[in-house]
Amino acid sequence: MRESEKDPGLYDFRPYRDRTKIEWPEGKTVAVWVSPNLEYYEIDPPANPQRKSWPRPHPDIVPYGHRDYANRIGHWRMAEVMEKHGFKGSVSLSVALCQHHPEVVAHANALDWEFFSHGIYNTRYSYGMDEAQERAIIEDSIKTVRDATGQTIKGWLAPALTHTPRTLDLIAEYGMTYTCDLYHDDQPGPVHVKDGRLISMPYSIEVNDHYGFFVYNMSPREYADTLIRQYERLAAEGEQSGTVMCIPLHSYLIGQPHRIGPFEEVLRHIAADGRAWITRSGDIADHFLANDYYDATAADAARYAKDAG
């Protein structure tokens, strides 16, 4: 990004009309990916100068225990429902989970879920890191996931969504192909980096279960209805050019007994509809790059460049 400038220069303007037609496999109109955040939050993390981990003195056992619910109960309940309806996870992983709860990581890997990095812990923030420190957490992420699962991570969602101005350049340099940290579009598109090709993978803050339940205060049934409306709209619009719908989840929220039943109805609806390419984030990125959509979408954007006449 262009540090300290008003416009960080992350991507080019490309309005939502007259776009290159993105075609998903088998004529599907919307690529649907489910993103369980498999996380570890430390009970007594060191302080980051720019962000506090827990509101109360450590141990702040309610928010800590709430998140630990994921690894004891929620993950297993959520994963069973996803598997039942044919949804593989694309995991936003606190890579230290490979050490703390290897059984959770092994279970997800055995289900053929994809892993990308969500930092070391969700209580260690990137704010204030120098380049060497940021390289260290990227290299740690790549090695830890490879050792635990055999997978090479292709993407990044910053730990607790904390960035530095150099994050995107670095992940591209290390060979990753997508970032989940930019929320400007319902389709993938190029991101400006120093070297290599990085695309923005549509994740979602707005239909993230955390936002649904604790920003918009939805009931479980309202959240399920919201996801179905989101799906119906994106599936219809995808006839013009393929769209992406991400369902970002935290099993300590969606895996609660009062929420999982309504959520299962969402998966049942999408699986039965027929218009969804039910897939993983890395598969979307691979398809996008293999079919030259990077250049095609960049050419779309070039039509609107200020010097294009």
* Residues near another protein (CB under 8 A): 40, 42-44, 46, 48-49, 56-62, 64-66, 68-69, 71-73, 75-77, 96, 99-104, 120-121, 124, 128-130, 132-133, 136-137, 213-214, 217, 219-221, 256-262
Q: How far is the CB of 69 from another protein (least distance, A)?
A: 5
CB of 66 to another protein, least distance (A): 5
- Tell me the closest approach of the beta carbon of residue 258 to another protein, in angstroms: 4
* Least Å from the CB of residue 156 to another protein: 17
Give the pairing type, strands 198-200 and 189-191. Answer: antiparallel
Choice between 4 and 217, CB closer to another protein: 217
Taking CA atoms, 220 is separated from 77, 216, 256, 272, in Å, by 16, 11, 10, 21
E strands, the chain, in order: 30-38, 90-93, 114-117, 155-156, 178-179, 189-191, 198-200, 243-249, 276-279
Place of tokens 């109109």: 29
CA pair distance 243, 99, nearest whole angstrom = 36
CB of 216 to another protein, least distance (A): 9
Task: Check whether the bond before 59 is cis (ω within 30° of 0).
Answer: yes
The residue (of 122 and 281) whose beta carbon lies closer to another protein is 122
Return the number of other C-beta atoms located less than 10 Å from residue 206's C-beta. 12
* Cβ-based nearer residue to another protein, 39 or 186: 39
- Residue closer to another protein by CB (options 69, 173) is 69
Q: CA Rg, the chain, in Å?
A: 19
**C-beta closer to another protein: residue 197 or 221:** 221
